[in-house]
Structure 1
Amino acid sequence: MMRFACLAGLAVALIVSSCNRDDTITTDSPPRILLDDPSGVYTVKTGRELEIAPRYEYAGYASFCWTQEGRVIGTEPTLLYRAGSVGTAFVRIEVTASGGTACEELRIETVELEIPVVSLPEAGRECTIAAGSELRLSPAVARTSIPTRYVWSVDGREVSDECNYTFRSDETGTFRLRFTASNDDGETSVETSVKVCAPDELPFSWSFAATEYRMAAGRTIRLTPLDIARTQGVVFTWTQEGAVLQQGAEPALCFASSEQGIHRVVVTASGGEGESSFTVSQELTVEVCAPEGTYRRPCTAASSAVAARVYEYLPAPGQFVNENYSAGTMAEACAWAERQLAKPNAFVSLGAFGGRIVVGFDHSVGCTGGYDLAIGGNSFATSSEPGIVYVMQDENGDGLPNDTWYELKGSEYGKSSTWQEYAVTYYRPTAPGMGVAWRDNRGGSGTVDYLNFHTQDTYYPAWVDSESYTLRGTRLEARNYFDGQDWINPPYEWGYADNFSSVDRPDDDPNVEAAANVNRFRIADAVRFDGRPAQLRYVDFVMVQTGVQAESGNLGESSTEVCDFRDCNCQE
């Protein structure tokens, strides 16, 4: 923008205004314009009024003219400018007095109103809970440059002025909940309803991680419904070709067979009485494959010690997701991840809890009893973001990771603070620059906060088409804390990727520059669903998942980073 003082006609004014007083020639000074904002740049929001009130010197009996694109918009010393649509406008003020004429040009930026944008997963639908239980509600609200106020109300009665709210009722019935986020620019409200039932009146629901399973002959796997909303009084019946395999309150079935081929198993849940009775069924198929070793691919002189391919890259939302790359499909996301892993000291971020990457080798990685795998991360003394490691054999020989995953047991395995089958559902934000709301299968909720120093519109993976997606796995207890100056993410003892372990890292380098450093893993630590050793002689695929759900202030979410997958015993 060019600001200038206009002195047109000043010479004439000097001559005209000069006079002879006692043989002394005097001259009136030209007017001066002193803008109330010295930068000459003003900002106003759409639909609002902006008062521009300069100060003037030597402007007695002056005339004032405000113009925009040659059109007069004011003739007073002060201009009341009403903003229209978003954009830039240039306004000129011209002051004429006895000493001459002065002018200034100023710029007005009209910007959008910052009305809060709200994303609440439960909005517009009815939630059902048992009397006496809790429902935690955690809306995501886009950050604005002005303070935001929050109000929760239940059936019209205000109950909280916090963003997050936990609803609980010992009485049955349906309650209407309303959340309002407001600031000086406006407000946004969303509503949901909560139906509170007696425990034996809860509607039955369940889910399944898969409906097709594969296993090597002679092995045992667990088939189980997940996220069961009601278990009281429910009977689970497992049948195969009409024959009852198991019946009772236990929902899971341990399936074992040495007979190769496709086995069809049906689980039926039934319960309730009278009008509230129900019966639902789900068919599952289990392919019993050839015995272990049938499809093993030995390491040869031509084999690469480094993982050859990325089969899946599905991060949870996180601050490095969608940043500096574009992927519209899973294939494009995997191709990008492969390119990253091929670069020195380049990382692939898995985002918040459950974010995962699946890689495969061009040979089978053998189990030696010692360290067999090395996975690079960027941990250092105060920054460990542990990733759970899983391994898989190509049991059906099709070259794809569609068989049985086995977790590699780490130091936290089996502790009461470690949760198996933990699941988190992430919801697409409703506007750019918003945190991502999430809800888990244990009644928890929260947001993956958006950090304003990042530039991508959203942390929600661009190649996920659905409005929400669920990630499931083992969750470790978060250890992050703020020490008064910095956020600290302490290490776990051993057994996790991107973890500053004193046990499974190969050296004592403090890694103060957060460069690539590895953790090593034993295939012998692979466990079955019941914690017993899986006794795998080799593996073909490796998966890493972020193992914690935690936020660390200006550091953002805890997210496992990986940079390398290597067979420790393969000589290149």
Structure 2
Amino acid sequence: MMKKILCKSVLFLALSASLLSGGFTSCSDDEPYLLKKEDIQVVQPEGGLTAQVDRPFTVEVKTVSDEGLAFEWILDGESISTSKKLEYTFKLVGEYELMLRVKQNELSYEYTFTVKVDFYKEVIEPNPAGATAYITKVLDFMPAVGQFTNSLPVYKEGDTQETMNAKVLDAIGNNKKNMISLGGFGGYVVVGFDHTIANREGLRDFRVLGNAFYANANPDPNAPEGGSCEPGVIMVAYDVNKNGKPDEDEWYEIAGSAHEDPTKELWYDKAVAAENDVNIYRDYTITYYRPEKEPTTTEEKEKYIRWEDNKGNSGYKVKNGFHNQPYFPQWFSGDKLTLKGTCLPQNGVDESGQGGYYVLYKFRYGYADNETNTKDESAIDIDWAVNSKGQKVHLPGVDFVKIYTGVNQENGWLGECSTEITGIEDLHVLGVEIETRK
């Protein structure tokens, strides 16, 4: 006997009002139920579906009938639920495409929505009582291969990761302003503070201190600013769950000028003429292989440490005559070190044409060790942060900062491009106001 289908009044999403489409079809006591697209309706509030990071997000669906229906929720192309009622928790800020697919035998209908995910609107005090403006903790430090690795700071036999972290804190923490080197591409340091650095609207929020400086005798008198600018990519994390550590899903990248458009860099044409790689790679991976022994001959030094990347490139890191310590981080136990991140365009140009005068040109803004410490462009606005899709996000503040060397390039006798760091300053605690870029 055929079931009777009862018509029921329609209720939708616990979110509030305004129907996306027209009313339900009428029911018949005499005919079998066949799914029609208008039988599944979703209501969303004015402005669309919204959610908050780490807070439950629920979508309820009411139908004329559930007989023979199969439900599937798809988020950015990935199936996340087969329940009629969606319950989900977002971990990252951004805009997401949410699709509900409903099937009945051969019938299938899809309903697509945009979900805007943001942080809970917490207000961060810009100058909390007792806060220091400087780094107070070092959570991790792993330089890549480089001529200053194992010397800034100095590695001694028996040192562990914890020992090296402590040496980094002693060098750049608490306004010491000594120097550490991150080595070649991907080498990084992760630091924290005794408070949350507030994100103040219209202002830059913190300054990364490095050792960038300008060339004194560039053979090209009309060249843009540059000299020793070794840009590090900056990542920031807001401790959403208040567990005192930066979780993997809490990191966002500061999008500097090359993220926006590398062709706008004032030295771009110079780099093209020098046959530099001027692309930006947001999915770059490089692997350095531990050498079997330290080199003694010229030939061994030229093929010191082999590397490969995920773009089909490979080569060797050269050991120069100025720095004789091992260039591979000695406290790291593996035979190969793999590092990932955004690789910036190569900014080093041999202006002499004979290998004698290399100039590493300044990016316009947004990176560490890219501008002299007294200038505004060494300061960072937290609102430059983007998620993994490149979408801008608004963080209430940041609790942790990660910096890694952003360029993979050898510059003749100068050696590898390596980001150096001497500290970080919370501009709000210091009472320094620098307007953000328009």
One fold, TM greater than 0.5? yes
**CA gap 1:571/1:487 in 2 versus in 1, 3 angstroms:** closer
Which whole-Å CA distance do the structure 2 matches of 1:411 and 1:483 have between them?
Answer: 23
**CA gap 1:532/1:555 in 2 versus in 1, 3 angstroms:** same
Q: Give the CA deviation at 1:521.
A: 0.1
**CA gap 1:446/1:372 in 2 versus in 1, 3 angstroms:** same
Q: Is 2:416 aligned against 1:545? A: no
| Residue of structure 1 in register with 2:231 after alignment | 386
Q: Give the CA deviation at 1:393.
A: 0.8
Query: Does the aligned pair in 1 maintain the 2:306–2:314 contact within 8 Å?
Result: yes
Q: Give the CA deviation at 1:297.
A: 7.8
CA offsets 1:97-139 (integer angstroms, 9 cap, x no match) = xxxxxxxxxxxxxxxxxxxxxxxxxxxxxxxxxxxxxxxxxxx
Which amino acid in the other structure matches residue 347 of structure 2? R
The equivalences for 1:254-293 within 5 A come to 259-260=88-89, 292=120
CA offsets 1:482-530 (integer angstroms, 9 cap, x no match) = 12231111111111111137xxx6449xxxxxxxxx8100001111222
CA offsets 1:310-346 (integer angstroms, 9 cap, x no match) = 1010111111111233263211111111111147442
Q: Give the CA deviation at 1:244.
A: 5.5
CA offsets 1:384-403 (integer angstroms, 9 cap, x no match) = 00001110011221101124
| Residue of structure 1 in register with 2:284 after alignment | 422
Which amino acid in the other structure matches residue 369 of structure 2? D
Query: Does the aligned pair in 1 maintain the 2:124–2:396 contact within 8 Å?
Result: no
| Residue of structure 2 in register with 1:436 after alignment | 305
Report the TM-score when normalising by structure 1: 0.47
Decide which structure has greater helix share.
2
CA offsets 1:417-461 (integer angstroms, 9 cap, x no match) = 2110111111101111352211111111122211122131x2111
Which whole-Å CA distance do the structure 2 matches of 1:522 and 1:389 have between them?
Answer: 11
2:185 to 343, 348, 353: 353
SS at match of 2:361: coil
| Residue of structure 1 in register with 2:366 after alignment | 495
Q: Give the CA deviation at 1:375.
A: 0.6
The equivalences for 1:252-401 within 5 A come to 253=78, 259-260=88-89, 292=120, 299-323=127-151, 324-326=154-156, 328-342=159-173, 344-369=176-201, 370-381=203-214, 382-401=227-246
Query: Does the aligned pair in 1 maintain the 2:155–2:330 contact within 8 Å?
Result: no
Query: Does the aligned pair in 1 maintain the 2:285–2:338 contact within 8 Å?
Result: yes
Q: Give the CA deviation at 1:260.
A: 5.0
| Residue of structure 1 in register with 2:94 after alignment | none
**CA gap 1:466/1:215 in 2 versus in 1, 3 angstroms:** farther
Q: Give the CA deviation at 1:463.
A: 1.5
SS at match of 1:554: helix
The equivalences for 1:511-530 within 5 A come to 519-530=378-389
Report the TM-score when normalising by structure 2: 0.61
SS at match of 1:557: coil
CA offsets 1:253-287 (integer angstroms, 9 cap, x no match) = 5989984599xxxxxxxxxxxxxxxxxxxxxxxxx
The equivalences for 1:438-517 within 5 A come to 438-456=307-325, 458-484=326-352, 485-500=356-371, 506-507=374-375
Which whole-Å CA distance do the structure 1 matches of 2:331 and 2:392 have between them?
Answer: 37
Which whole-Å CA distance do the structure 2 matches of 1:243 and 1:401 have between them?
Answer: 36
Query: Does the aligned pair in 2 maintain the 1:377–1:564 contact within 8 Å?
Result: yes
Query: Does the aligned pair in 1 maintain the 2:118–2:394 contact within 8 Å?
Result: no
Query: Does the aligned pair in 2 maintain the 1:317–1:351 contact within 8 Å?
Result: yes
Which whole-Å CA distance do the structure 2 matches of 1:519 and 1:462 have between them?
Answer: 31
**CA gap 1:428/1:563 in 2 versus in 1, 3 angstroms:** same
**CA gap 1:255/1:489 in 2 versus in 1, 3 angstroms:** farther
| Residue of structure 1 in register with 2:55 after alignment | 217
Segments of structure 2 that go 5 or more residues without pairing to the other structure are 1-51, 58-69, 92-116, 215-226, 263-278, 296-300, 432-438
| Residue of structure 1 in register with 2:29 after alignment | none
Query: Does the aligned pair in 2 maintain the 1:295–1:397 contact within 8 Å?
Result: no
| Residue of structure 1 in register with 2:67 after alignment | none
SS at match of 2:195: strand
Which whole-Å CA distance do the structure 2 matches of 1:296 and 1:315 have between them?
Answer: 32
Which structure has the larger Rg over C-alpha atoms?
A: 1
Which whole-Å CA distance do the structure 1 matches of 2:80 and 2:258 have between them?
Answer: 27
Which whole-Å CA distance do the structure 2 matches of 1:500 and 1:451 have between them?
Answer: 26
Decide which structure has greater strand share.
1
Query: Does the aligned pair in 2 maintain the 1:354–1:546 contact within 8 Å?
Result: yes
Q: Structure 1 vs Structure 2: percent identity of aligned residues?
A: 32
Which whole-Å CA distance do the structure 1 matches of 2:344 and 2:163 have between them?
Answer: 30
Q: Give the CA deviation at 1:299.
A: 4.2
CA RMSD in angstroms, aligned pairs only? 3.3
Query: Does the aligned pair in 2 maintain the 1:426–1:468 contact within 8 Å?
Result: yes
**CA gap 1:313/1:217 in 2 versus in 1, 3 angstroms:** same
Which whole-Å CA distance do the structure 2 matches of 1:430 and 1:424 have between them?
Answer: 19
**CA gap 1:478/1:421 in 2 versus in 1, 3 angstroms:** same
Structure number with greater CO (CA < 8 Å, separation at least 6) is 2
Query: Does the aligned pair in 2 maintain the 1:549–1:558 contact within 8 Å?
Result: yes
SS at match of 1:542: strand
**CA gap 1:298/1:374 in 2 versus in 1, 3 angstroms:** closer
Query: Does the aligned pair in 2 maintain the 1:352–1:448 contact within 8 Å?
Result: no
The equivalences for 1:236-247 within 5 A come to 245-246=73-74
Query: Does the aligned pair in 1 maintain the 2:238–2:397 contact within 8 Å?
Result: yes
Q: Give the CA deviation at 1:404.
A: 1.8
| Residue of structure 2 in register with 1:20 after alignment | none
**CA gap 1:554/1:392 in 2 versus in 1, 3 angstroms:** same
**CA gap 1:294/1:463 in 2 versus in 1, 3 angstroms:** farther
Which amino acid in the other structure matches residue 356 of structure 1? Y
Which whole-Å CA distance do the structure 1 matches of 2:208 and 2:406 have between them?
Answer: 15
Query: Does the aligned pair in 2 maintain the 1:299–1:364 contact within 8 Å?
Result: no
Query: Does the aligned pair in 2 maintain the 1:290–1:396 contact within 8 Å?
Result: no
SS at match of 2:192: strand
Segments of structure 1 that go 5 or more residues without pairing to the other structure are 1-213, 220-241, 263-288, 509-517
| Residue of structure 1 in register with 2:250 after alignment | 404
SS at match of 1:489: strand
Which amino acid in the other structure matches residue 161 of structure 2? M
